[in-house]
Every structure is written in C-alpha cells, then in structure tokens.
Chains A and B, each alone.
Chain A
Amino acid sequence: KAGVTQTPRYLIKTRGQQVTLSCSPISGHRSVSWYQQTPGQGLQFLFEYFSETQRNKGNFPGRFSGRQFSNSRSEMNVSTLELGDSALYLCASSLVASGMTDTQYFGPGTRLTVL
C-alpha cells in the first residue's frame, strides 16, 4: 500500500500571501490530521477531518483552515502568511475503526518558508 503523500514538498512564499497544501491518505483511511512542526513550539496539532467534516481543532488562528474531499484527500490553507508560519507541515492518516483511537501514519511533510 502506498503511504501518505503530501504535495508540494517544499514551498517558498512571501508575507501576506496565501498557500494551499495537499495530502492524500493511505488507501482506505478516512481520517486526516494536520500538524505543524517548528523548532520553538515542536509538533502541534492543527485539525482533524473525518467524512469531510472537521472533527477536532487545535489552538491556531482562523488563518489556518482545511477541508476534506469525498475521496478522503485533504487540503489545508494558510492565508495572510506571517514569518512565524515557516514550518514543516505534516499530514497523518488513520483508519478510524469503530470505538478506538487508531494509529496515525505520517507523510513526508511540506516545508514552508515564508520570506
């Protein structure tokens, strides 16, 4: 089975721009979560999508948004980019068996640099 894929792998933007990152989960996985990794804050949860609905959200400003499509693929969008948004953005997918917390499998990440 192919793993989680993320595109693009690298991105350079300037302050004030917006960006869209894409994530394709492992085939059959229905939940997609997004995390931000920075040297200062470590790994922080952004949001989780399941069946095209945001099920859970971390403590990030409204500039960070996401969506999930019917094929479980997900996108996240960051508007009005700030220097502090420079980070590795990781997507993870999980199967979501009934009643249990499933293991999340991560993609290679998108490294965003904001100049």
Chain B
Amino acid sequence: AQKVTQAQTEISVVEKEDVTLDCVYETRDTTYYLFWYKQPPSGELVFLIRRNSFDEQNEISGRYSWNFQKSTSSFNFTITASQVVDSAVYFCALSGSSGSARQLTFGSGTQLTVLP
C-alpha cells in the first residue's frame, strides 16, 4: 500500500522568511511518481511539480525548490522569501506506474500562512 505523511499540519511564517514543507512517503513500487499541489481558498488543486523515482535531481523554479531523497523517502518543498500569496494548503502526493497504483495518494496537507 502507498502512504504519504505530511507531519506539519499548520505552519505560520512572516513574509520574506524561508519555509520548508516536509513530505515522507511509503511505497513498494520501484517506479513511482511524486507530486506537489497547492490548494488556495478557492479550492482548486494547482499542480506545482512532478518527480519520477528514477530522477533524484533537485529542482528549482523561481522561489520554489524541491529536495528529493530516496534514501530517506522524502520529497521536501522549500519556498524562499515567502509572500502572502503563498498562503494555501499544500499537498504532497504519490502514484505508482500502472494499474490501480496510478491513482494519487495524498498526504493530509500542510496549511501555510504567510503573514505580512
């Protein structure tokens, strides 16, 4: 069975601070995919990034960066110089490569509040 754990339920930071959202996953698949989604108050899940299990390169996109470590089964997300518009719930998700494993298994989400 697949499982995603986001231990941080809520995080509050002041604007311009850096913040890291933790994600730990469990899977028996050798090929799998990891995702981060952002859910603003409007409710829509906005796709941020996808990572394949065979590609451990870290990625940076503007103020966002992701650290994927297979050795610790973690896929952490860092926002640099946070802004009020970053306030949202962030979900980490995992899917396998075929059959019933294609469905997304989500963590419980981290509510990020960025204060001005």
Residue B72, interface by CB 8 Å: no
Distance A20 CA – B35 CA, assembled complex (angstroms): 29
Q: Which residues of B sit under 8 angstroms from A56, Cβ to Cβ?
A: 99-100, 102-103
Distance in Å: Cβ of B92 to nearest Cβ of chain A: 11
Distance A92 CA – B93 CA, assembled complex (angstroms): 14
Distance in Å: Cβ of A8 to nearest Cβ of chain B: 13
User: What 9 A-B pairs have minimum CB-CB distances, sorted nearest first?
Assistant: A106-B45, A43-B106, A45-B103, A108-B44, A109-B43, A103-B50, A101-B33, A42-B108, A56-B100
What is the interface of chain B, defined by CB distance below 8 A to chain A?
Answer: 33, 35, 37, 42-47, 50, 91, 95-100, 102-109
What is the interface of chain A, defined by CB distance below 8 A to chain B?
Answer: 33, 35, 42-43, 45, 48, 55-56, 58, 88, 90, 92, 100-101, 103-109, 111
